Amino acid sequence: MASVNIRDVRKAYGATQVIHGVDIRIEDGEFVILVGPSGCGKSTLLRMIAGLENITGGEILIGDRVVNDVPPKERDIAMVFQNYALYPHMTVADNMAFSMKLRKAPQSEIDERVNKAAGILGLTHLLERYPRQLSGGQRQRVAMGRAIVRDPQVFLFDEPLSNLDAKLRVQMRTEIKELHQRLKTTTVYVTHDQIEAMTMADKIVVMHDGIVEQMGAPLELYDRPANLFVAGFIGSPAMNFVKGRIKAGAVPSFETEEGASLPLASAPQGSDGRPAVYGIRPEHFRLTDDGLPAEVVVVEPTGSETQVVARLGGHEYVCVFRERISAGPGETIRIAPDPGLVHLFDVESGKRLGA
Amino acid sequence: MTDATAARLRPASRPSLWDRIGQGRNALGLIFMLPAAVFLLLFLTYPLGLGVWLGFTDTRIGRAGVFIGLENYEMLLTDHVFLLSVFNTILYTVVASILKFALGLWLALILNEHLPFKAFFRAIVLLPWVVPTVLSAIAFWWIYDAQFSIISWALIKLGWIDAPINFLGDSTNARASVIAANVWRGIPFVAISLLAGLQTIPPSLNEAATLDGATSWQRFRHITLPMLSPIIAVVMTFSVLFTFTDFQLIYVLTRGGPLNATHLMATLSFQRAIPGGQLGEGAAIAVAMIPFLLGAILFSYFGLQRRKWQQGGAD
Ligand SMILES: Nc1ncnc2c1ncn2[C@@H]1O[C@H](COP(=O)(O)OP(=O)(O)OP(=O)(O)O)[C@@H](O)[C@H]1O
Ligand SMILES: [Mg+2]
């Protein structure tokens, strides 16, 4: 096991730069998830750690060793590919044993490790099958088995669950997390699914257009997003944003461009009259009798909660309530944003304002 | 009972012949295959049958023959020229096929790398195949000319040899020369087909193997070659069949000479049948090729059978 240190790493394909100076420190044994929209450079970064892409600028360290010029096979890392990349002409057992056979490990050791990995992943009865004869979830497990058998310094996962159906994805999520708790191998995991990121990671790195927007523990990102991008990306349904001005004073408030007034717990120092973006998560609205009157547009009950799109002062907000709602479209409900859970962002830079 | 109800009832009780044909997939399949079968019968089986029949007669040009049983074949068994041609054909096929495979695979691997001007090189590789065989054979004829050979000329200029090489005049040289010409002509087919096969191998497999610690030779040995084996089987079957039945190159370059050293079964068959006028004997020689070709086809049939790893559900 080892830490991974990414220092000011850049990547350019010809003239187009796709990674613009990324710094990430991954501690020994940590489970780090790179998350971001499609095309932001997650796979590229992962493949640079693996050594499958060369590094245009900056350096990557695995343990204490700069690996920029170390060929992939000497980096001692294992990768699980999105399409699993199982060798179709080898049985499950041979797939898992391939790396050990290459370095001529004794057969007894190979058998022992393969059987152990197969036991962990519940693949024992499938060892003689070929990849074509497996289901998607089983293939995924074989791909992980191939990585486990290696006992590498670092595990890399590139969207390993994106080919699975929703239910299996949830199950494999748990399995991967359990596996990590058991093996404690440093893991870098790429996904574009923020729920996967929230549920599995020790640390999330949010990437966007080749830069790191924010890095931190899942709840830290949820509670204190550093900018508009992270605020909008983390959390589902996404945070509501509305533009307007801060009104400081004895009872601070926020006046939207449409003229509605929204509550604020506190206004940042000297921010009276300052234009800003007001952000409130759907789950941070409450239904109260002294709330603001809002017109119901759509009601979507999911059973455990109810999602409502409501129009307030000319702007539509997505709200999620625990309560069931009897009001239909066109009717009025009274909703109140929790002032303590409001986020303010700068209009120009999108940076978080205040605490 | 009215006609209408009768019509409605009949299929339920006892389907008419027409209904059964319409519903049975097999019967319907047969009907659809009929035109193709007739076509094949007419254009493949008839000449083949005629050839086989001629082989059992002593037909000559201008004289209808009579059935003489296996006499032609008995004669061939003691015919040294025929036996030499069998040997030549096998030598020609084996050596040329091995060379075509090795060089073709090598070319395909190179072309599969990220080369500059990739499309240009791929086009170049196809050239020998695009040129009509007779034309390239004539070019080779010049290249192998006893006096004006460009190869001899170049080697003399380089000071490596003193006298021009007698390419087509000496038995061994002639065999090597026709094999070289055949290889040159056959490489594009092998190279381009294998290149197409290489491109169906997902790059992530090689990346996974790299991470598993495989050297480039081990990747070739354990990933590329096994993944390519089904295509290799098809391509080499065709290549062997083409080479075994080759006629044009030999006919233009050597006409089977010198001393029958380059006579293949195909050229001998033609020579005996048309210029020699012994249609029956020529046909017998041609028919004698069939067991060899059948052998090659059977070999590939078993080679081509889907490997165990290719079976099962698709993705
Ligand atoms: N070989 C290449 N040549 C040029 N540009 C490339 C190449 N490979 C990737 N890119 C560009 O680099 C950027 C990052 O690609 P990358 O594959 O890392 O995205 P990603 O974050 O993994 O996206 P996804 O979630 O869709 O997998 C993209 O804009 C892509 O167009
Ligand atoms: Mg990707």
**pTM over 0.90, yes/no:** no
Question: Percentage of chain A with pLDDT > 70?
Answer: 100
Among A132, A153, A155, A164, pick the best mutation site for testing chain B contact (most B Cβ within 10 A): A132
CB B235, CB B189: distance < 8 Å? yes
**Is the CB of A83 less than 8 angstroms away from the CB of B204?**
yes
Q: Which residues line ligand 1 (CB under 6 A)?
A: A 13, 16, 18, 36, 38-44, 192
- pLDDT the model gives residue B1: 43
Q: Residues B232-271: pLDDT tens digits?
A: 888 888 899 989 988 888 888 888 878 888 899 999 999 9
CA dihedral A160, A163, A164, A166 (to 10 degrees): 100
CATH number of the B55-309 domain: 1.10.3720.10
Q: Which chain B residues have a beta carbon less than 8 Å from that of A88?
A: 227, 309-310
Q: Residues A127-165: pLDDT tens digits?
A: 999 999 898 889 988 998 999 898 899 999 999 888 888
Alpha carbon B159 to its chain centroid, in Å, reads 40
Tell me how close the Cα of A313 comes to any Cα of chain B, in angstroms: 51
Return d(Cα B82, Cα B84) in angstroms, integer. 5
**Beta pairing class for A285-301 and A306-312:** antiparallel
Q: Residues B78-132: pLDDT tens digits?
A: 888 999 999 999 999 999 999 999 999 999 998 888 777 878 888 888 888 788 8
B221 at interface of A, judged by CB pairs closer than 8 A: no
Q: Which chain A residues have a beta carbon less than 8 Å from that of B225?
A: none
Return d(Cα A343, Cα B216) in angstroms, integer. 54
Q: How far is the CA of A196 from the centre of ligand 2 (A)?
A: 15
- pLDDT the model gives residue B315: 39
**Is the CB of A133 less than 8 angstroms away from the CB of B312?**
yes
**Is the CB of A102 less than 8 angstroms away from the CB of B212?**
yes
- pLDDT the model gives residue A212: 94
Q: Which of A40, A53, A162, A207 gets mutated to test ligand 1 (max ligand atoms within 8 A of its CB)?
A: A40
Domain parsing of chain B, residue ranges: 55-309
**Is the CB of B210 less than 8 angstroms away from the CB of A98?**
no
Among A43, A52, A77, A164, pick the best mutation site for testing chain B contact (most B Cβ within 10 A): A52
- pLDDT the model gives residue A32: 95
Contact partners, residue A128, CB within 8 Å, separation at least 6: A91, A92, A93
Name the band, by pLDDT with cuts 50, 70 and 90, for residue B4. Answer: low
Return d(Cα A146, Cα B205) in angstroms, integer. 13
CB A64, CB A220: distance < 8 Å? no
